[in-house]
Structure 1
Amino acid sequence: MASAKHKKPPQAPPLFTHTPESLAKDTNSILKRNQELQDRIVKDVKPEEASFDNVILPFARDDDQMSLETHIIGFYSAVSTDSKLRDASVAAEKQMDEFAIDSVMREDVFKLVDAVYKKQKDDKDLEAENRRLLEKDHKGYIRNGLGISAGPKRDRFKEIKKRLSELSIIFQKNLNEESGGLWFKPGELEGAPADLITGLKKGEGEHEGKVWLTFKYPDLFPVQKYCRNAETRHKLFLANENKCNNNIELFKEAIVLRDEAARLLGYPDHATFRIEDKMAKTPKTVDDFLGDLRKRLAPGGLKEIEKLKELKEAETGDAEQYFLWDHRFYDTLMLERDYQLDQEKISEYFPLQSSIDGMLKIFEELFGLAFVKLEAEDRNAISSTGKGDDIIWHPDVHLFSVWDDEGEGNGFVGYLYLDLHPRDGKYGHAANFNLSPGFINENGTRRYPATALVCNFSKPTPKKPSLLKHDEVVTLFHELGHGIHDLVSRTIYSRFHGTSTVRDFVEAPSQMLENWCWTPSQIRALSKHYSHVSPEYATAWQESAKEEKQPGEHMPEELIKSVVSTRHVNDALFNLRQLHFGIFDMTVHEPKSHEAVVKLDASATYNSLRHEISKLDGPEALGQGNDWGHGQATFGHLIGGYDAGYYGYLSSQVYSTDMFYSVFKKDPMDGKEGRRYRHTVLEKGGSQDEMDTLKQFLGREPSTEAFYKELGLA
């Protein structure tokens, strides 16, 4: 149970008691309220009387209140076990998006915003975040079609915006609800972890003697990494690349419509439109960065492939070609043979729950926080309904109240939710979702945020807890980093809260924190052998290991060294994979003409670019052409907000590496610097120009030196 001090947060958590009917009703009510506000301001305020206080501020306040409900309404589509509630969530998102498009194209409202902008854009008395809000609002109307003269072109633009919203929602729903897989005989999965195979669904009838392997990460990755049967890996790889084929046409339609919309606004392509407001500013800056990195990485990638081919030849006697479905297997084998990296042994030291406890402890020390897990009785006490189950959406969900420590003032910070295991209909990757943002209420009090990590780690069994591979530890720490960003942000408006930054900066704070997972002292602190988790697990370990002596609680020095030594093994190939994603994204979003994007074959482009950039052979090397798979149909990032922005994963790495090397490398647990980072970077969210945030923290312009040095490319 929570301590008495932490039992009564000043704000109850959100409720998750919606039904399909209540979602529809609440959505209508929210939109009606906003519609009435817009109509009232247009009726009551003349352009010559328009000011920040009587136009911009009321809309911002209403946005704040709407966000408390709309984020959760949309969240059900990613996590609910009720297909009807997921469908209602999707329908509500579509309705809200269409309403938002209509709203930002209201010329009568824009006339007032434009009048305020002309009067107050240079007003020195306007607080900095207020001025940023005014600038963003004004530009938002123009970028959403009001820069186009009223008439058929503007009507077409509006039509496109609505269809793009619909495409995005359907595309993600298809991904979330993807339920494919393949039947295999256990012998075809030789080498895959025994725990995985015994846990798979058993076949009946025509599939008697077989097991069902899904495309979910806890099934897919272990087979790709450990299965010795190359034909099984090949078959699984192809099937996975061809799942969600109902998204192929949706993706193509989206890139064509985006290009048309950008040209209607006067931009040469969608990339120019999207990047204009990011840190990079122009597609040329992005293309030059990606091109330079590709040139630097390519020789290293070819060298890495040659070494992996040697390993393949030693295993099979044939290494003429090195295939995409070979890579995870031989990469893992190299780590085991050349670096003594025993992934299974290492995972024994990373039980999911104790790893989370260790991560939260790091954040407590570094940022001056306290995380208090709320058990059933605690949840009952703080739920506004008196029912603890009403403040979680699934029995597997963990809830924490988050507080400042004594040095930071003992105040309440917000709520953190962890939803860690896969289930049908759930979002299929690992991500952080804001449930309700923080902001300053009209009366000057603070509204506290709630944020959720949605992941897909394997479930525990009676004999073993959920055990994380080291790369999963890195993923979890990264996503928790987004959650911390969301929690500690302190902005006036929800519009700028937490991770609401430009896309080519948003990954930097979490990427920087990944360095802690490669620091020996922190690996040791995070580790806890699962036999020390409970007496039951100790007994189960003894039975399975058949060893007399129980391992020490923390990971031994030699294992830690083996983890750290592998950080940059086959790094060029990993980054060439990221470059493939980034360059594909830019290719489809900066065509030379609209006709070019209409004619573009997205599948062939995706596959040919992958072959050219990653240097790994696919089915095209077997004479099957470039239309053998449709990876873009599962590329949720490019439909869900990272369009003409995936390069941000690599450019953010420049900033994150610079911050770590300059400030934290000497002592990652320096609490003074951690708190300075919290207040200088994380608290700001998107409330100021992200380059200014970086410069304030670094004390200078950011540099690429540390990034290229870390990759061995300086």
Structure 2
Amino acid sequence: MNILTEKFSTPYHSAPFNEIKNEDYLPSFKELIQKSEKEIDAIVNNPEEPTFENVIEALAYSGEQLDVVSNIFFNLNSAETSDELQQIAQEVSPILTEYSSKISQNEALFNKIKKVYDEKEKYNLNEEQQMLLNETYKGFVRSGALLNEEDKEKLKKISMDLSVKSLQFGQNVLASTNNYFKHITNKEDLAGIPDAILEQYAEEAKERNLEGWVVTLQYPSYIPFMTYAENRNLRKELALANGKKSFDGGEFDNQNLIKELLHLKQQKAELLGYKDYADYVLEERMAKSPTKVIDFLNELLVKAKPYADKEIEELKSLAKADGIDEMQAYDHTFYAEKLRKAKYDLNDEELKPYFPLEQVQEAVFGLANKLFDLTFEERNDIPKYHEDVKVYEVFEAESGKSEDGSHNSEKTFKALLYVDYFPRKGKRAGAWMTSYKNQYQKDGENSRPHISIVCNFSKPTKETPSLLTFQEVTTLFHEFGHALHGMLANTQYPTLSGTSVKWDFVELPSQFLENFCYEPEFLKTFAKHYKTGEVLPDEKIEKIEQSKNFMEGYQTLRQIGFGLLDMNYHTQVGELEGLSVKECEDKYTKATQLYPVNPETAMSPSFSHIFQGGYSAGYYSYKWAEVLDADAFQYFKENGIFNPEIAAKYKVLLSSGGTKDPMELYKSFRGSEPKVESLLKRAFG
């Protein structure tokens, strides 16, 4: 028996991680693909007249178990991978791509879809059903349903190549990250680094059976080193190692892979009748066109550049006092921290004792309760994939009056939430939210989602709990905002549920929630010293509030640089013929560069967001969504940050998923379209 092909007997039919063996995956994928293909055949061979129910709805609900197993496998390949899992991924990806191509290019199926689409007026569909029909039809057209047989085969081959190569890209970045570590035996080389971080480096050395200290390229290790290490030569060495990830000409180099991926995407776009891949992608975004995106980014660039230049001049004067005539990118974090301390008398190490991870988690849970009536209860009997993971049942309180007039309160199960906070060798860098199972309604049952948050925070040690930097606090709130989008989902169909929205809308809930971290009224409820229980003093809270826009110009230019790099890669692919990846990168980001460019480093070969993840021609969406989140939070600020009426309207926006056009959804919540001035006002006053 293969555990993955059976109905799970766990609570809420959650993933039975403790029973899954690696050898289960490949056979289960093959079996579930066959099962899903039979469901498709049943739709195609149904002798009845095609209708919305027997074609569009039937298709939306098909392949449920295959989706669940795919989510389990690919989520683990990001959060708890191994050489064996990566090898399986290389085998599985083309099989899944072939399966999805087979469906999207099934002519008989598409003919039925087209018939329902052409006759949609006769079905009296509600808004969500209309959206499902439109998205289904468009999805098939965008997957090549209108192509001739020869071009369909070409598209299928391109899609398979893309899936394998993007997977390889991510594996190379992970291997390149894990391959480097800096072993330090002289404590003087670690001058400036706080004791808690030194303890972390010592633990890392011990794990490797080494004396002294070890620094890695994992962010909880790398960032503190770049922030506090006084040894400039070592900062340079670490920065060079980080900038050479998959860019050193070695086994895990991604430069050729980038060119191959971009050419494949261009071929795909042209085959489907688009000018370029960005044109193809943006048809399905709020922004609609590459021109609009580039205009948007350039408008922000013009506004932000003077602020960024002024910020860098301040840092340069600090560096000059230390005898540094030409400041480099690897000096930035160190001097930014010095300036932050001088300006606001704040540094991360002073703040960290007030932000133990468990306390911050309780705060974000409490905020979800205050705004959306959610409660969280840990479950120890639900299987998990690593001992560091915790699982929570999420409930929604439903208060009301019974028939006799007495007050009653019930709670309804809303979701499972998995949290996975600490770095490991098998986990990729960064932080993300994902799901193991989508929400949907079928046969009178509201099937609730299983959501996961994955981060890379410093592990607790024998002496101290996991203490978060303030940036890590905002990271947790960010990912929890995504999680709320998933947990509150309340739609009919799985393909329109939760975060299944336009990509430049998906960052609104995450970035919106970060705003609460800067509100004194809220901060005082949870920023308490882990040893003494003392509340973070008012003057420090004030400094946090004042420092909210610290280096905002620099950060804005950095994000614009990533956005322009991404957009140019996906509109100017012809330039790769005559230029190297490094030359393209330098050219596309030139207007946003604030430090001398290092010829030995490049970020594109480790830019997983656009070459492995789903942000191809979509990285601009972070800044785009900032306009939305600044405008949305301003609405709360004007009426009280815990205003129940506005929170209720916002909850409708979150629970609606992709059932409506995002701009219409936003206007229903806010009463008007978002204004870019809201972002500029928040960022630069």
Tell me the TM-score normalised to structure 1 length: 0.88
Contact kept? 1:78, 1:176, Cα under 8 Å:
no
Contact 2:29 2:66 survives alignment (8 Å): no
The DSSP-based 3-state class of the residue aligned with 2:617 is coil
1:222 match: 224
Report SS of the residue matched to 1:411. strand
Cα distance, 1:597 vs. partner?
Answer: 3.9
Deviations 1:105-137 (A, max 9, x none): 2222212211111111x3461122111111111
> Following the alignment from structure 1 to structure 2, what is the Cα–Cα distance between the partners of residues 406 and 128?
26
Three-state SS of the structure 1 residue aligned to 2:549 is: coil
The amino acid across from 1:405 in the alignment is: A
Query: What does the per-residue CA deviation read over 1:478-524, in whole Å, with 9 as the maximum and x for residues that have no partner?
Result: 00111111100111111111111111110011111111001011111
Q: Partner residue of 2:244?
A: 242
Aligned position for 1:478: 478
Residue 602 of structure 1 aligns with an amino acid whose one-letter code is V
Aligned position for 2:287? 280
Aligned residue among 645, 654, 673 for 1:672: 645
Distance change (3 Å), C-alpha of 1:480 and 1:90: farther
- The answer as to 2:435 corresponding to 1:434 is yes
Could you tell me which runs of 5 or more consecutive residues in structure 2 were left unpaired when the two chains were aligned: 1-8, 401-409
Residue of structure 2 equivalent to 1:25:
27
1:701 aligned residue: 673
CA contact (8 A) 1:371 1:401 kept: yes
1:407 aligned to 2:407?
A: no
Opposite residue 141 of structure 1, the aligned amino acid is F
- What's the offset of the Cα at 1:345? 1.4
Task: Give the whole-Å Cα distance in 1 for the aligned partners of 2:575 and 2:369.
Answer: 52
1:410-458 per-position Cα deviation (integer Å, ceiling 9, x unaligned): 21101011111011111221100111111012x1111010111111111
What SS does structure 2 have at the residue aligned with 1:630?
coil
Equivalence for 1:638? 610
Separation of aligned partners in 1, 2:63 and 2:633: 35
Task: Give the letter aligned to residue 248 of structure 1.
Answer: Q
**Aligned-partner Cα distance in 2 for 1:110–1:600:** 42
* Partner Cα separation in structure 2 for residue 415 and residue 664 of structure 1: 31
Classify 1:407/1:311 alpha carbon distance in 2 versus 1 (closer, same or farther; 3 Å).
farther
In structure 1, the partner of 2:156 is: 158
One-letter code aligned to 1:432 = M
Instruction: Output aligned runs, 1:358-397, within 5 Å.
Output: 358-374=363-379, 376=380, 379=381, 388=382, 391-397=383-389
Q: Identify which of 557, 560, 563 aligns with 1:576.
A: 557
State the Cα deviation string for residues 158-211 of structure 1 (Å, max 9, x = none): 21111011112222233344412223343323212233233336779x997653
Alignment of 1:324 onto 2:325: no
Check conservation: 1:508, 1:652, Cα contact below 8 A.
yes
Matches within 5 A, 1:135-150: 135-150=134-149
| RMSD (Å) for aligned C-alpha atoms | 2.2
Rounded Cα–Cα distance in structure 2 between residues aligned with 1:370 and 1:208: 45
SS in 1 for 2:335: helix
Aligned-partner Cα distance in 2 for 1:433–1:176? 19
Q: Does structure 2 conserve the Cα–Cα contact (< 8 Å) formed by 1:77 and 1:87?
A: no
The answer to whether the 8 A contact 1:351-1:465 is kept is yes
Counterpart Cα distance in 1 of 2:243 and 2:47: 55
Indicate if the aligned counterparts of 1:69 and 1:436 stay in contact, CA closer than 8 A.
Answer: no
Q: Is the 8 A contact 2:636 2:643 kept in 1?
A: no
SS of the residue aligned with 2:143? helix
Match of 2:6 in 1: none
For 1:357 and 1:130, how far apart are their aligned partners in 2? Answer: 38
Runs (4+) off by over 4 Å: 201-204, 206-210
1:26-54 alpha-carbon deviations (Å, 9 max, x no partner): 211210011112223223347xx222112
Q: 1:689 aligns with which of 661, 664, 681?
A: 661
Q: For the residues of structure 1 that align with 2:231 and 2:487, how far apart are their CA atoms?
A: 45
Give the residue type in structure 2 aligned to 1:231.
N
CA apart distance, 1:355:
1.0
Distance 1:24 1:334 in 2: 54
CA shift, 1:250, in A, is 1.7
Deviates more, 1:86-95 or 1:284-293: 86-95
1:603 maps to a residue whose letter is K
Q: Is the 8 A contact 1:611 1:617 kept in 2?
A: no
* Aligned twin of 1:710: 682
SS at match of 1:400: strand
Match of 1:537 in 2: none
Structure 1 residues 609 and 334: CA distance shift in structure 2, 3 A = farther
CA distance in 2, matches of 1:44, 1:124: 19
Tell me the equivalent position of 1:657.
Answer: 630
CA gap of 1:208–1:484, structure 2 versus 1, over 3 A, is closer
List gaps (5 residues or longer) in structure 1.
1-7, 380-387, 533-551, 620-625
Deviations 1:375-423 (A, max 9, x none): x3xx1xxxxxxxx4xx111111111100011338521101011111011
Identity %: 30
CA apart distance, 1:566: 0.6
Q: What is the correspondence of 1:527-566 to structure 2 with a 5 Å cutoff? A: 527-532=527-532, 552-566=533-547
CA distance in 2, matches of 1:345, 1:328: 17
Aligned pairs for 1:102-181 (under 5 A) are 102-120=102-120, 122-123=121-122, 125-151=124-150, 153-177=151-175, 178-179=177-178, 180-181=180-181
CA contact (8 A) 1:9 1:412 kept: no
Change (3 A) 1:101 1:598: farther
Residue number among 588, 593, 609 corresponding to 2:569 in the alignment: 588
Aligned to 2:15: 14
- How far did residue 687 of structure 1 move? 1.5
Shift of 1:649: 0.1
**Could you tell me how far apart the structure 1 residues matched to 2:434 and 2:222 are?**
24
Alignment partner, residue 497 of structure 1? 497
SS in 2 for 1:291: helix
One-letter amino acid of the counterpart of residue 169, structure 2: F
How far is the alpha carbon of 1:84 from its aligned partner? 2.4
- Aligned partners of 2:346, 2:434: CA distance in 1, in Å? 33
Deviations 1:546-570 (A, max 9, x none): xxxxxx5321111111111111122
Name the CA shift for 1:666/1:323 in 2 (closer, same or farther; >3 Å). Answer: farther
Query: CA 1:253–1:659 in 2, change beyond 3 Å: closer, same or farther?
Result: same
Q: Which amino acid is 2:266 matched to?
A: D
User: Residue 418 of structure 2: SS of its match in structure 1?
Assistant: strand
Q: Letter of the aligned partner of 1:599 in structure 2?
A: G
* Cα-to-partner distance string for 1:647-704 (whole Å, 9 max, x where unaligned): 000000001111110234542122332222112x100111111111101001122222
The yes-or-no answer on 1:192 pairing with 2:193 is: yes
1:168/1:188 CA distance change after superposition, 3 Å: same
Distance 1:502 1:568 in 2: 28
Could you tell me how far apart the structure 1 residues matched to 2:535 and 2:472 are? 18
How far apart are the structure 1 equivalents of 2:27 and 2:579? 42
Alpha-carbon distance in structure 1 between the residues aligned to 2:128 and 2:577: 41
The 1-side partners of 2:601 and 2:504 are apart by 29
Structure 1 counterpart of 2:15, one-letter code: P
2:271 matches 1:299: no
Question: Which secondary structure does the structure 2 equivalent of 1:451 belong to?
Answer: strand
Q: Secondary structure at the match of 1:348?
A: helix
State the AA in 1 paired with 2:439.
Answer: G
Residue 347 and residue 666 in structure 1: after superposition, are their counterparts in 2 closer, same or farther (change >3 A)? farther
Q: What is the total number of aligned residue pairs between the two structures?
A: 656
CA-CA distance at 1:294 after TM superposition: 0.7
The alpha carbon displacement at 1:610 in A equals 3.8
Whether 1:311 and 2:313 are equivalent positions in the alignment is no
**Is the Cα–Cα contact under 8 Å of residues 97 and 159 in structure 2 kept in the other structure?**
no
For the 8 Å contact 1:67–1:494, the answer to whether it is kept is no
Separation (CA, whole Å) in 1 of partners of 2:123 and 2:59: 22
- Select 1:615's aligned residue among 580, 594, 603: 594
Cα drift, residue 12 of structure 1: 4.2
